Amino acid sequence: MKFKDYKERFFGRFSNDIGIDLGTANTLVYVRGKGIVVNEPSVVAVNEKTGQVVAVGAAAKEMLGRTPAHITAVRPLVDGVISDFEVTEEMLSYLMKRAAEFLPKKPLGPRVVIGVPSGVTNVEVRAVRDAAKNAGAREVHIIEQPMAGAIGIRLPVHEPVGSMVIDIGGGTTDIAVIALGGIVRSKNLKIAGDRLNNDIVSYIRNEFKILIGETTAEQVKITVGAVVPAEPLETTIRGRDLITGLPREVVITDSDIREAMSQSIETLVEASKEVLETTPPEILSDVMKRGIYLVGGGALIKGLDELLSDTLKLPVAIADDPLTAVARGAGAILEELELFRPVLLESEDDVLSAS
């Protein structure tokens, strides 16, 4: 047994293992032996007068668009990367403390695996690692989210077999073809859940002359959003009339939301085509047999799997519990860190050897 393995076992007795899916919309925390213990929106409410954090997660999300002037509800991650380092650190610290409630008390900080979007820069990776370290992590390992998602849904990532994963999150969509423990082809799009929410806000403002908030748009997307025509769906929304300035409510149908999201969905489909067009033929034949797997919250958009399958002429499957796939993958990596070390984007050992 290598010295590194002895060290891992020794320190492992005095610290816990935590997997984190650091998402633009939601952050999930996996605890070894317990599963997903925290699933909170990536939102932090800050008191501008004192600089103190007022609320994190669900409590902070409820404040979006409802805060007095001196309290700001912010998303510290934009398009999957850290936009506010200090607030991200506060959020990670809070979530790690929440996770610690489910764990036995140990003297050392936890060992953490964090999922980040594919294609992030070294500076962005270092920012995530430093934020986790400052939040109390003993050891930090970084993995690309589509790879973590593939591991989370038990795809054979180490084998010479091609697998294709589309991870549709809040801030980014990652399209990746994976084989032999690496990403063969990938594309990262800034079109995901948040962009679709903004599309709905813009459409309703332009077509109905009503201003709604992002939270309402998200609820409408979940309730009546469907990218292929199926059973008629409708819901009532309330907002501010742009002409009179007074409250007004209108009925929105699935066809309205489909039209609102059409351009972004088309871009997502085209990006998937581009990845397939540049994939080596042998791996492409594997993908034709095995199909494409959808993970992330966007996988739950009604009819998206059907649209992709019809357009790309490939089988498309929504993973079981797609929302938690990346966090479960981070947890699986912690269970067998040595086996998965080659697929990590950056591990503690890389950082120590580089310094």
Encoding tokens for residue 276?
């397939």
Is the pLDDT confidence value at 74 over 70? yes
Decide if 102 is inside a domain: yes
DSSP assignments along 267-304, one per residue? HHHHHHHHHHHTS-HHHHHHHHHH-EEEESGGGGSBTH
Buried b (16+ CB within 10 A) or exposed e, 28-55: bbbbbeeebbbbbbbbbbbeeeeeebbb
Decide if 204 is inside a domain: yes
E strands present in 107-214: 111-116, 139-144, 163-168, 173-179, 182-189, 210-211
pLDDT tens-digit profile of 281-295?
999 999 999 999 999
Q: What is the pLDDT of residue 32?
A: 79
Q: What is the pLDDT of residue 14?
A: 54
Whether residue 29 is found in the same domain as residue 134: yes
Whether residue 271 is found in the same domain as residue 131: no
The structure's pTM equals: 0.88
CATH code of the domain in which 248 resides: 3.30.420.40
Decide if 226 is inside a domain: yes
User: Sign of dihedral through CA atoms 248, 254, 256, 258?
Assistant: positive
Q: What is the pLDDT of residue 220?
A: 95
Q: What is the pLDDT of residue 12?
A: 53
Whether residue 251 is found in the same domain as residue 339: no
Whether residue 282 is found in the same domain as residue 174: yes
Q: What is the pLDDT of residue 16?
A: 82
DSSP assignments along 17-68, one per residue? EEEEEE-SSEEEEEETTTEEEEEEES-EEEETTT--EEEETHHHHTTTTT--
Cα-flanking dihedrals φ and ψ of residue 82, to 5°?
-70, 125
Whether residue 235 is found in the same domain as residue 284: yes
Left if phi > 0, otherwise alpha if psi is -120 to 50, otherwise beta: which for 22?
Answer: beta
Decide if 286 is inside a domain: yes
Decide if 135 is inside a domain: yes
Whether residue 75 is found in the same domain as residue 144: yes
Residue 217 lies in domain:
160-319
Whether residue 175 is found in the same domain as residue 131: no
Whether residue 300 is found in the same domain as residue 167: yes
Decide if 153 is inside a domain: no
Buried b (16+ CB within 10 A) or exposed e, 154-178: ebebbeebbbbbbbbbbbbbbbbbb
User: Sign of dihedral through CA atoms 339, 345, 346, 349?
Assistant: positive
Decide if 18 is inside a domain: yes
Whether residue 62 is found in the same domain as residue 80: yes
pLDDT tens-digit profile of 306-345?
999 999 999 999 999 999 999 999 999 988 888 999 889 8
pLDDT tens-digit profile of 177-227?
999 989 999 999 999 999 999 999 999 999 999 999 988 999 999 999 999
Whether residue 229 is found in the same domain as residue 291: yes
Question: Side chain identity at 274, as an amino acid letter?
Answer: E
d(CA 246, CA 41): 30
Q: How many independent structural domains does the chain possess?
A: 2
Whether residue 266 is found in the same domain as residue 285: yes
Decide if 154 is inside a domain: no
Whether residue 231 is found in the same domain as residue 344: no
Cα-flanking dihedrals φ and ψ of residue 56, to 5°?
-135, 145
d(CA 80, CA 326): 13
Q: Which residue has the higher pLDDT, 115 or 106?
A: 115
